[in-house]
Amino acid sequence: MLSNDTDADAPGDTFTVTEVNGLAGQVGNAVALEVCGIVVGDLTVNADGSASFVTTSDLTVEIFSVSANYTMNDGGASPQTGTIDITINPQDDNAPFLSAAGLALEGTTLLQYDEDSILVAGTPAGTEDLTTYFHDLDIDADAEMDDDSADDNDSLVFSLVGNTNAFLVNGTVSGRDLDVFSPVNEHGTATLTLQVVDTAAPAAHAPLTMEVGVIVNSVNDGPLYVGSYADQSVDED
């Protein structure tokens, strides 16, 4: 670890690691590294600069990177501090699966609304959070989805891959949300096929899909008078 550090003295002095994350007592001992309070692995830095890192055995933790600081000294009065950056490549330890809510919903009605009530994509009544129905045991330190934080790596990607009545039900997926809306004065039904892929290792598992229905209820609109007529006059009898 000290091989990339230099010393202006000639001949060069011997570097010694004196602290890890600001503590002398952590040199030569395993130090638990955490991200958002979750231990992602143990780092051991020895006085001679040799180091090892052992990732956590918890398969549900996937973190892209973590770092630690070390202080080195060549016997002089000005010790220097460097940073160790560790990159952890995520593994898709399990396939995404339907939650209890997803299992109960599959093949049934996801949304039902009256015609003319949802005419703009993103209207709250026409939005569904897909993480309610799809899950993955691999989590990030913040337990949030990719669209919530740039630091996420659970990598669940949602999409709408089938729609039996795209004219009636216009569906779009943005991040974790499914938005639907319908044209004016139209009613009927549509079956949507939703899909999730874990991009941590997409070749490891086939995409998971779920079919759900959307019902647009017919509403009897009141009669509308259109046009005009010229005044009429006739003789009696």
Residue of higher predicted confidence among 12 and 176: 176
Give the pLDDT confidence of 150-177 residue by residue, as tens digits.
Answer: 444 456 789 999 999 999 999 999 888 8
pLDDT at 138: 57
% of the chain at pLDDT higher than 90:
38
170, 171, 214 from 165: Cα distances, Å: 8, 10, 10
All structural domains of the chain = 2-87 (no CATH), 97-217 (2.60.40.10)
CA–CA gap between residue 152 and residue 134 (Å, rounded): 17
Which of 87, 81, 102, 82 minimizes the C-alpha distance to 41? Answer: 87
What's the confidence (pLDDT) of residue 188? 96
Q: pLDDT tier at 121 (50, 70, 90 boundaries)?
A: confident
pLDDT over 80 at 30, yes or no: yes
Once rounded to an integer, what is the mean pLDDT over residues 3-17?
A: 58
| Beta strands at 109-114 and 208-217: parallel, antiparallel or unpaired | parallel
Distance in angstroms (rounded) separating the CA atoms of residues 58 and 79? 36
Give the pLDDT confidence score for residue 151 in this predicted structure.
47
Q: Tell whether the model's pLDDT for residue 46 goes beyond 90.
A: yes
Instruction: Give residue 131's pLDDT band: very low, low, confident or very high (50, 70, 90).
Output: confident
Mean of pLDDT over the chain: 80
Lowest mean pLDDT among 47-51, 137-141, 149-153, 179-183: 149-153
Q: pLDDT confidence of 236, banded at 50, 70, 90? A: confident
DSSP run (H or E) holding 127: strand 127-129
CA 13, CA 75: separation in Å to the nearest integer?
Answer: 8
